[in-house]
Chain A
Amino acid sequence: MEEQDPIADKFKTSFSGFEKEPPAGVWEKIRQELHPDPGPGSFWTRFSAFTWFTNNPIVFYLSIGGIAMSLFVSTVYFGFRNHLTIRGHAYAGDIRLNGGSADLFRIADKTMPWDSATHYRSAIIDIYGHFQFSRIKNGSYLLRIAPDRNSVETEKFLPSWYDRYERSDSCNLIILQNADINVEAKLIKK
């Protein structure tokens, strides 16, 4: 039987359950080692999107805003990139028509006669003879101009298909292809 050792007993008793709080900073060191902070990192790691942006919220939100704006502008630009304008003037003889109407018809035919005319857009001819069709897609079109119903011009002129054609099946095509077009159209003299 082992001889009782009072020193051993004393130590055993004293240190049974002995605990002490470590100095300040020790837990932080342990935490750092278990979960190291990413820190500034190398030149390339700074561009790691997630950690860099989460450390710079202002830049993050500015970037989101910039991306959203870019998307919006791109949508508008590419969305309307193929939307063009046909504009011009209508004439009664040599004088600009003082009011009337202009109609645009879309054509699917590749050769005459233009049988597949489909009404596409209407526009007003103003007192200066000006008319304009906006956001028109690329394609082939026919244009018809007519004076106001009770205007003076109706006594001397007839509506015409561009340019000065009485019938639509053999008039001039307006071909729109990635560029705006300016048209000078004249009424048919009676």
Chain B
Amino acid sequence: MYGICLRYGGNETEAADILQNGFMRLFSHLDQFRFEGSLEQWVQRIFVNAAINYLKKNFKFSRDVELFRANEGVSLLEDALSMISTKELLAMIQKLPPGYRAVFNMYVIENYEHKEIANSLGISEGTSKSQLHRAKLSVRRMLKECEV
């Protein structure tokens, strides 16, 4: 579960806080598990929700500050992508602004729909799509810098 927290948190300290909150939620809601579907997925969902709540509490999604300028012209660097390690990918996610990071994680890795993301984060579907797009562009930019 710490892996999930690392992806949503900007650093290990935030990830540890999310992990702690996640376990508190897990044990307080354990009696609500209905044995429908995988326990692992249910637990993962709890931690994702804990992460989202943490980000919502500490950051404002609608006013994310862009760390990188979205550049539509950045080309995909397949070599960089194939050589990059999981650790470096994690660092890239953590560099993203909280809003981009949350949407990116939820859409790309957790397979949430934009509607679901919007409901969870309290934003519109359009904002969710927009932030995903910007997140991907930011990642492309970071990959480009890795290659250099």
Contact = CB atoms under 8 A, between A and B. Distances in A.
Interface of A: 5-8, 10-12, 14-16, 18-23, 26, 29-30, 33-34
Contacts of A20: 2-3, 6
Interface in B117-145: 136, 139-140, 143
Nearest to B22: A30
Given A10-B89, A19-B2, A30 B23 contact: yes
A147 B38 CA distance: 102
A171 to B, nearest CB: 85
Contacts of B109: 11-12, 15-16
Given A29-B20, A33-B23, 4 more contacts: A11-B89, A11-B104, A15-B90, A19-B3
B136 A7 contact: yes
A16 B108 CA distance: 11
Secondary structure at chain A's binding surface: helix, strand, loop or mixed?
helix
B39 interface: no
A15 B84 CA distance: 13
Contact of B16 (A6, A10, A19, A22): A22
A21 B136 CA distance: 27
A20 B27 CA distance: 21
7 contacts: A7-B136, A7-B139, A10-B89, A11-B104, A22-B5, A29-B16, A33-B24
B12 interface: yes
Contacts of B89: 10-11, 14-15
Contacts of B93: 11
A34 B24 CA distance: 7
B20 A14 contact: no
B19 A18 contact: no
A15 B5 CA distance: 12
Contacts of B15: 22
A21 B2 contact: yes
Contacts of B108: 8, 11-12
A6 B89 CA distance: 13
B140 A22 contact: no
A18 B23 contact: no
B81 A30 contact: no
Contacts of A18: 3, 7, 86, 90
A33 B16 CA distance: 13
A12 B86 CA distance: 11
B31 interface: no
B36 interface: no
Given A26-B16, A26-B19, A30-B23, A15 B76 contact: no
A63 to B, nearest CB: 36
Nearest to B139: A7
Ordered nearest first, which 5 A-B pairs have the shortest CB separation? A18-B3, A19-B3, A22-B2, A14-B86, A8-B108
